[in-house]
Amino acid sequence: MGFIDLSASLDRHFGSIGVALNEHATRISLSYAEQRTIIGPGARRAEKCLAELCKVFKVSDQVAITIDAAIPEHVGLGSGTQMSLAIGSALNAYYGLGLSVRDIAAVLERGLRSGIGIGVFEQGGLVVDGGRGAKTITPPVLVHLDIPASWRFILVFDGRGQGLHGQQEIQAFKALPPFPKQEAERLCYMLLMQGLPAVAEHDLPRFGEVISQLQRTVGEHFAAAQGGVFTSPEVAKAMHWLEQQGAVAIGQTSWGPTGFCAVDGAEFAEALTQQARSHFAQFANLSFVAASARNSGGDVFVE
């Protein structure tokens, strides 16, 4: 849902807020095999991850991995971190390595910027991480709150493209101007004294106002690199319309192109999602999904 200090103007770099969702997930199974085998969506990424983990953990790669479901890649939903932690957790359970989620994340250098993917794999819910300091290995989780059961998030996808990632993302961060210290201070205050209390008190409009302000500030800072506050002009139109219909917490996740917003009530979320599909039917690349928050971390089952 956004970064807090993009230039370490307050001495810690990044810091971010995010939420775990149920509807987009990574699910894998791992078992013995005479020869390493990986099948399913995202197999190429999983192959590299498995090879690196087996090398560092000094364990055999004679395993078969079936990827039953994978989060879409490079659309701002943390697919790389969730795949990495899923495979690492499966190997950890299979070989009885006794590793923590953060041990696994550090091996694969996850959390170099946002620590949200690690935090939600550990415990779900809403997470705020403390960014990176001089000695940080993985960004520490500072706040964990359960999301109220009635809250729903509407995701808006643009099927034509992906957000910046890899070397493009690294170069984009280098090219951005310094993030103003006063803006980092303002976002920190808003989040600590307005946004987080609103979650604790189930005040979605107030929480939504804080997230929308944070998103506007960060989006304007990223605009030169991504072509505007939103990467996709069509997603931008959809988000403006959703806000007019009563949605709050308007923003883009990571580099997009996925947009998000929040509403109160499962029925309202489904109705609004259906209305959006009808209203934007002429935009064939747009799709809309209503999602619920997941207030627990990743599950590992051993048979």
CATH number at residue 136: 3.30.230.10
Cis bond upstream, residue 257 (ω within 30): yes
pLDDT of the residue at 280: 98
Domain boundary among 141, 175, 209: 141
Strands in 248-252's sheet, in edge-to-edge order, are 248-252, 259-264, 151-158, 286-292
Cβ atoms of 180 and 288 within 8 Å: the answer is no
What pLDDT, on a 0 to 100 scale, did the predictor assign at position 74?
A: 85
> Do residues 194 and 83 both lie within one domain?
no
What predicted TM-score, i.e. pTM, was given to this entire model? 0.92
Q: Which two tokens stand for residue 215?
A: 């998103």
- How far out from the chain centre does Cα 248 lie? 18
Q: Is 64 helix (H, G, I), strand (E, B) or coil?
A: strand
Domain that holds residue 188: 148-292
* pLDDT score for 166: 57
Residue 17 belongs to some domain of the structure: no
Predicted confidence at residue 173, as pLDDT, reads 64
Contact 60, 79 (CB under 8 A): no
The residue out of 126, 141, 156 marking a domain boundary is 141
For the domain that residue 214 is a member of, what is the CATH number?
3.30.70.890
Q: What is the pLDDT along the chain (303 residues), one digit of tens a residue?
A: 999 998 899 999 999 999 999 999 999 999 999 999 999 999 999 999 999 999 999 999 999 999 999 999 889 899 999 999 999 999 999 999 999 999 999 999 899 889 999 999 999 999 999 999 999 999 999 999 999 999 999 999 999 876 545 566 667 667 778 899 999 999 999 999 999 999 999 999 999 999 999 999 999 988 877 778 899 999 999 999 999 999 999 999 988 899 999 999 999 999 999 999 999 999 999 999 999 999 999 999 998
Assess if residue 19 is contained within a domain.
no
10-30 burial, b at 16+ Cβ within 10 Å, e below that, comes to eebbbbbbbbbbeebbbebeb
